[in-house]
Structure 1
């Protein structure tokens, strides 16, 4: 949900100088290259504070200044299997906020697709900020049981969506909010998208944010479309005057992304006026049984639950509560 700068939080290892120029592309080249390589330079692409959630083993190793691999041998086996199957069997499933986008932006917390939004109504912006103050500590607390937390997250999202409708949000306000936003894609994301598009590898972006804002971020920050990318997120309904009147479907929050069918996905290119359509029939996505999953929340592991995958490499970006959450992230499966 909404995020605001926090100058008192310890900053994890995510500053651009510590990263390779194109970490995402490096990881994909590793997966798709058929050359034999030693085991396991699997994460030597230096993804920022990365956890490859591979097994429930309590022993995990740190590598390369901030990457953690729970089961190096298991990871190497999966990399080999994905390479052998080739790009026709691979798909990427990614969270958006703080995964594809930077958690830190110009020395402060980057904004999320919810947090950047300004309705043009100070009263309602303040009400949404008050909801953030109440619920965000719950969201990031590792001690609250997931079923209890899921109910509270749904409550937060529903209240926020109600305020957006009641406050008269317009699409014009969305465009202006993105122009003024402190949001940027992580280093290497554009190269990743281009690498995947060239090989017709589909990308499903699952987000608990707002699809219309995510599409506007793509439009303003990348200035191009990608025919292989689809978005599953909370989608708005606007009237003829461009005013928000409703949301489509069931609310998607940080802990229930796995409950939503893939047919909720909308291709990014449709919103850029691309007449060519997608080169990949998304009815075939479920036949792509190798998955690279990218997320920053334990709940993001559920994004692939609707797929009968053969191999999944899950990459977790541990952005906050580093010491308390490291063990949970490393043992997650």
Structure 2
């Protein structure tokens, strides 16, 4: 079965054919991959040219279907488009300076390390259950609710403060993919909402955006678990329904919140939930097959899905290329997605 690289159609570059041979049943398949041969036409394309990695590859399973989706979204205009994006290992890099980048979950360090140990023990118990193929989905959802509830209770009991969050983020091994700022900026100028979905902690994600991007975006909302702090900065409770890995979808949109006032005071400039729900064209970005469910609950007309296969185990490419419209390999930068939104907007 032939794979075809759709990169030349995304960013208007010429490409050179080559062969990619993962150590699996896809060994007999061919993959087209881009080399650094660009024909830049605009300032943004020049930025792509200067940043794009030679090692990045992208796989497209059905180019014609993809072109049809792109044309339909482009014809409807930016006013009908929304972007739904996972946070960990999608907006952020999988590898940072040769080390596995931290997630918004595991970067958190409480002042009392005993509670970090207790949270890790919960992870050791529940994480295998999350991926168990024998547990029915209804039972698994209850287990995830239980896990999140116990973890949140430990954060409160352990006296987590907002200063703990700030220090944890400052010391974290975490970086955004190259091109994320440009993607957010391009979408902001066209009033396209960006929903960052996460089963983690929205306040941590917000602090990561604040410290790592140093810029606010009026079109960005975070759909995640939100903390409530007292006047002394101590965590006292969580707001609303718990969002975990099995209910991280547009059913949770009502708890979406714009970036905190400290980040720019942008509440009044952000689309409300009803307005977002009326945007029936979706660009979805994720690094996990489960991220495809983030648009569940939305009655969309057209959806383009982008999957980041950051660390192929030799068996995932075949599955990912069937599940996503685009599959970016090798912990790729965000430049291809920047060019995609430029094309469909």
Scaled by the length of structure 1, the TM-score of the pair is 0.76
Structure-1 residue corresponding to 2:221:
230
1:91 and 2:82 aligned: yes
1:319 and 2:273 aligned: no
Q: 1:234 to 1:275 in 2, by over 3 A?
A: closer
CA positional deviation for 1:307: 1.5
Output the CA distance in 1 between the equivalents of 2:162 and 2:270: 29
Structure-2 residue corresponding to 1:287:
278
Q: What secondary structure sits across from 1:235 in the alignment?
A: strand
1:205 and 2:196 aligned: yes
Cα RMSD for the two superposed structures:
2.7
1:159 and 2:153 aligned: no
CA positional deviation for 1:144: 5.2
Output the CA distance in 2 between the equivalents of 1:152 and 1:331: 29
Output the CA distance in 2 between the equivalents of 1:298 and 1:72: 20
CA positional deviation for 1:68: 2.4
Please say which structure displays the higher CA radius of gyration. Answer: 2
Output the CA distance in 2 between the equivalents of 1:44 and 1:142: 40
Q: What secondary structure sits across from 2:249 in the alignment?
A: helix
Contact 2:73-2:281 at 8 Å conserved across structures:
yes
Deviation string, structure 1 residues 33-83 (Cα, Å, up to 9, x no partner): xxxxxx77455699xxxxxxxxxxxxx974425422232211111011112
Match of 2:173 among 179, 182, 188: 182
Deviation string, structure 1 residues 173-195 (Cα, Å, up to 9, x no partner): 11111111111111110000001
Structure-1 residue corresponding to 2:253:
262
Contact 1:142-1:324 at 8 Å conserved across structures:
no
Structure-1 residue corresponding to 2:294:
303
Q: What secondary structure sits across from 2:284 in the alignment?
A: strand
Q: 1:145 to 1:78 in 2, by over 3 A?
A: farther
Q: 1:127 to 1:281 in 2, by over 3 A?
A: closer
Aligned residues: 282
Greater Cα shift, 152-161 or 216-225: 152-161
Deviation string, structure 1 residues 216-265 (Cα, Å, up to 9, x no partner): 11111111210000111010111222111211122211221126332211
Scaled by the length of structure 2, the TM-score of the pair is 0.74
Deviation string, structure 1 residues 144-181 (Cα, Å, up to 9, x no partner): 56715444433322221121111111111111111111
**Contiguous gaps of at least 5 residues in structure 2:** 1-5, 14-28, 34-55, 325-345
Contact 2:201-2:226 at 8 Å conserved across structures:
yes
Q: 1:143 to 1:108 in 2, by over 3 A?
A: farther
Output the CA distance in 2 between the equivalents of 1:154 and 1:82: 36
Contact 1:256-1:299 at 8 Å conserved across structures:
no
1:169 and 2:160 aligned: yes
Q: 1:288 to 1:42 in 2, by over 3 A?
A: farther
Structure-1 residue corresponding to 2:342:
none
Greater Cα shift, 199-208 or 68-77: 68-77
Contact 1:97-1:209 at 8 Å conserved across structures:
no
Contact 1:293-1:313 at 8 Å conserved across structures:
yes
Greater Cα shift, 296-305 or 176-185: 296-305
**Contiguous gaps of at least 5 residues in structure 1:** 1-38, 47-59
Greater Cα shift, 111-120 or 321-330: 321-330
Q: 1:305 to 1:217 in 2, by over 3 A?
A: same
Structure-2 residue corresponding to 1:79:
70
